[in-house]
Amino acid sequence: MPLMRIPYTAPLPSPTIIPASASTIPGALAALDDFLNTPVRSAPGNGKTVILSGAGISVASGLADYRGSAGTYTLNKTYRPIYFHEFCASHEARKRYWARSFLGWTNLHRSRPNKGHEAVGSLGKLGKLSSVITQNVDSFHPKAHPDLRTLELHGYLRSTVCLSCRTEYSRDDFQRDLSVLNPEWAAFLAEMVESGALTTENPEERRRKGLKTNPDGDVDVPGVQYSTFRYPSCPKCLANPPKGTKVEQDAEGAWTPDSTAGILKPAVIMFGESISNPVKLAVESAIDEASRMLVLGSSLATYSAWRLVKRAKEQGMPVGIVNLGGVRGEEQFFQDVPANGLGREGVRTALSLEQFLPSLVERMRETSTTPLLRNENFQPAPWAWR
């Protein structure tokens, strides 16, 4: 199979700030205030805003992003993720994936939502938002605002899923199984934790300690071999293999390569993997129900995210983007937006989300007449937060 290309690993062009006054925090606050509060006549919707968030909103939680100034593609030019077809086909690829995930899970599991995630929840309680679509797999949005609907476009790392029977299992339980099967790796992980290499929230400091940290809980230790790493099989398939398959394990409980089923993968959309139709329909419905879209911390480099903003724009919805770097094809989202407008037609600003969003919430509280809302009838979809 030809090697798929990772999109937009080079820096994207710097943005044009719209309106021009949004280059400062006071100007950006005024523009977003106008954007969020002005009724939209060009899009029917529910009068509220749907948010699309990316890795940039989780950087303040100590997680690496892909394309930021300190992102993986910026600092590690040779980084290449494991593709879905490789994971499915190769026992060695799965060893590599799970070994690196084993090392990275501790930091990801200890990380918490930051002020940006909390501010999104506050905007929801103020009645400004209808839902959140996130590209992130860290579960921070549903943790920070369980009453505001979150649709996880690319899945979530909190679970594993069987490729054969689709049963999901806790990633915490899976981590314990990996520790039992790989005692030397577990001892190595304990040493790294004790040294502080994984407890720091500063990705640069982790690199200085000999680690290359990448998004989605991936940690690369230069020079380490992954061939000895072992991982368990799906318990359900082990007990009752699907018809025409076999699932074998060694004496200590590790999946063996003569098996033809029972492979566990992270419950995320890997590179080269398709998003399921139920999730596609859910996020499209979330857009169709809203009246405007606000993008937070995403370069929209992946088509699965970019097409959602395109869909919103084609339906007459104003688009706002708050992202420190450039955004894929953003000029077409603002070509009809006046550079000297107030913000209601669209906003593009480049500010730190952790600093800017709490200030936006305070401004909304000062200007809003809507009481804090709680959606008592909300029931999460099966692909949303669990």
Residue length, the chain? 386
- In angstroms, the CA 295 to CA 321 distance is 5
- In angstroms, the CA 19 to CA 351 distance is 14
Q: Is 88 annotated as a binding residue?
A: no
Q: Domain containing 335 — which CATH number?
A: 3.40.50.1220
Please identify, among 237, 252, 268, the residue that sits at the C-terminal boundary of a domain: 268
Q: What is the pLDDT of residue 224?
A: 82
- In angstroms, the CA 220 to CA 214 distance is 8
Pair 93, 230 in one domain: yes
Residue 4 lies in a domain: no
- In angstroms, the CA 72 to CA 100 distance is 15
Q: Is 237 annotated as a binding residue?
A: yes
- In angstroms, the CA 238 to CA 264 distance is 12
The pLDDT-based confidence of 385 (bands split at 50, 70, 90) is very low
Q: pLDDT of 2-51, one tens digit each?
A: 445 555 555 778 899 999 999 999 999 999 999 999 999 888 789 999 99
Does the reported pTM lie above 0.85?
yes
Q: What is the pLDDT of residue 380?
A: 44
Domain count, the chain: 2
Pair 135, 95 in one domain: no
Catalytic residues: 154
Pair 293, 357 in one domain: yes
Residue 380 lies in a domain: no
Pair 241, 288 in one domain: no
Pair 224, 316 in one domain: no
Pair 147, 119 in one domain: yes
Pair 137, 105 in one domain: no
From residue 118, give the alpha-carbon distance in Å to each of 125, 313, 371.
11, 27, 18
Q: Is 234 annotated as a binding residue?
A: yes
Pair 213, 362 in one domain: no
Please identify, among 268, 290, 313, the residue that sits at the C-terminal boundary of a domain: 268
Please identify, among 268, 285, 305, the residue that sits at the C-terminal boundary of a domain: 268
Helix (H) or strand (E) holding 73, with range, is helix 72-75
Q: pLDDT of 111-163, one tens digit each?
A: 999 999 999 999 999 999 999 999 999 999 999 999 999 999 999 999 999 99
Q: pLDDT of 213-245, one tens digit each?
A: 666 667 777 678 899 999 999 999 999 999 999
Q: What are phi and psi of 375, to 5 degrees?
A: -85, 95
Q: What is the DSSP letter of 371?
A: P
Domain of residue 89, residue span: 75-110+157-268
The token duo for 272 is 């080269």
Q: Is 162 annotated as a binding residue?
A: yes
Q: What is the pLDDT of residue 238?
A: 98
